[in-house]
Structure 1
Amino acid sequence: MTGVPNWLAALRAYLLTVVAGDLVWEAAHLPLYTLWRTGTTGEKLFAVVHCTLGDLLIALASLTLGLVLVGHRDWPVRRLGAVGALTMAFGLGYTTFSEWLNIVVRESWAYSDLMPVVPVLGFDVGVSPLLQWLVVPALALHSAHRAGAARWATTQGVAG
């Protein structure tokens, strides 16, 4: 069918961008956690891979919720902003919960003195993980829009 946005290409672009962006981000902000000083090379590598895969699942679930709640059949050409806002809000919300659960409740990881923090709901949350859920999804949604809109634009006579 011509003239229809390619949602599958958009989803693929979104997920590939999320994996690449989160892999780089997780490796880059590792020094902001105590694991950087205390962990072995294997533990650090495991943490980066484990967190990247977790980020991928969070990003997929967040996008799915956004699409179900406010998506349009012509996504990502239509309703990209609304879906994107919810996707990022869900990602930020889950990240805040996860940081609280793992730092405050479980004490399974800790920030180093290098991590800038902001108070949220009575506890400190790292700025880096919060920024991660703004920057990486924004890039991924942009990639999704470009990939999904490419075929639609050519069939509509729109320069892409």
Structure 2
Amino acid sequence: MNKKTFLNAPELHIGIAAFFLHFVWELIQTPLYECFRDTHYYTVVLLIIRATLGDVLISLAAFWSASVAVRSRFWILEEDKKGFWVFLGIGMLITVVFEELATGPLNLWGYTDAMPVLPLLGTGLAPVAQWIILPLLQFWFVRRQLLGGSISGHLIQ
């Protein structure tokens, strides 16, 4: 793989956008999780980075699932939004299942009283909102980056 091919790989842009967007989100939502109470700053930063890397993996898994569903790694550039809906759905499914396991049997973290939860699932609203809002931003950033910053949607040669 040459340098130009690597720099135009949608996975690279998905990963970069996911890291920066999810890092900020994870930082903002720390008051909603018990594990951050009375925790040293350095430990909080490490936990946020670990959570962010997990979010990047979820984004890549959702991206590759969408790529398989539409038979193209460049679905993000196509007019048909099937890939986006698969991306969003897979990311949401993984998130809800992992939150359920992490707050339940695995006991990795818990919610503070400030975390609103979904009535039927008991999943926190913040992680669910994260996988609705951030994929929309990610889609916009990655599409724009792959199009070379073009506003009109046409590749710049």
With normalisation by structure 2, the TM-score equals 0.83
Kindly provide the CA deviation profile for residues 74-99 of structure 1, in whole angstroms up to 9, marking residues without a partner as x. Answer: 53321562111111111110110011
Give the percent of matched residue pairs that are identical in Structure 1 and Structure 2.
Answer: 26
- Could you tell me how far apart the structure 2 residues matched to 1:86 and 1:7 are? 24
Q: Secondary structure at the match of 1:94?
A: helix
In the alignment, structure 2 segments of 5+ residues that lack a partner are 1-5
Farther-moved stretch of structure 1 (146-155 vs 27-36): 146-155
Q: What are the within-5 Å matches in structure 2 for residues 7-46 of structure 1?
A: 8=8, 10-46=10-46
In structure 2, the CA distance between the partners of 1:79 and 1:65, relative to structure 1 (3 Å rule), is: farther
Deviation at 1:61, TM superposition (A): 0.8
Letter in 2 for 1:15: G
What is the rounded CA distance, in whole Å, between the counterparts of 1:99 and 1:68 in structure 2?
Answer: 25
Tell me the SS of whatever aligns to 1:117.
coil
Q: What pairs up with 1:63-74 in 2 under 5 angstroms?
A: 63-72=63-72
Larger RCO, structure (CA 8 Å, separation 6 or more): 1
RMSD: 2.2
Q: Call closer, same or farther: CA 1:80–1:140 in 2, change over 3 Å.
A: farther
Greater strand content: 1
Check the 8 A contact 1:36/1:44 in 2, yes or no. yes
Q: Is 2:90 aligned against 1:96?
A: no
SS at match of 2:99: helix
Q: Is the 8 A contact 2:67 2:74 kept in 1?
A: no
- The whole-number CA distance in structure 2 between the counterparts of 1:110 and 1:125 is 10
Shift of the 71–131 alpha-carbon distance from structure 1 to 2, 3 Å rule, reads: farther
- Asked if 2 retains the 8 angstrom alpha-carbon contact of 1:66 and 1:87, the reply is yes
Deviates more, 1:51-60 or 1:12-21: 12-21
Measure, in 2, the Cα distance between the counterparts of 1:65 and 1:96.
Answer: 17
Output the amino acid matched with 2:48.
V
Displacement of 1:12: 3.0
Structure 1 position 142 matched with structure 2 position 140: yes
Runs of 5+ in structure 1 lacking a partner? 1-5, 156-160
Distance in 1, Cα, partners of 2:38 & 2:97: 25
Aligned residues: 148
Q: TM-score, normalised by structure 1?
A: 0.82
Give CA-to-partner distance per residue, 1:53-112, whole Å, 9 cap, x none. 010011011101101111446533215621111111111101100111010112220000
- Alpha-carbon contact 1:118-1:127 (below 8 Å) kept: yes
Question: What is the distance in 2 between the residues matched to 1:9 and 1:139?
Answer: 18
Cα distance in 2 between the residues matched to 1:97 and 1:16 = 24
**What is the letter of the counterpart of residue 40 of structure 2?**
T
Tell me what 2:129 maps to.
Answer: 131
What residue in structure 1 maps to residue 78 of structure 2? 78
Against the structure 1 CA distance between its residues 63 and 47, is the aligned structure 2 distance closer, same or farther, given a 3 Å change threshold?
same
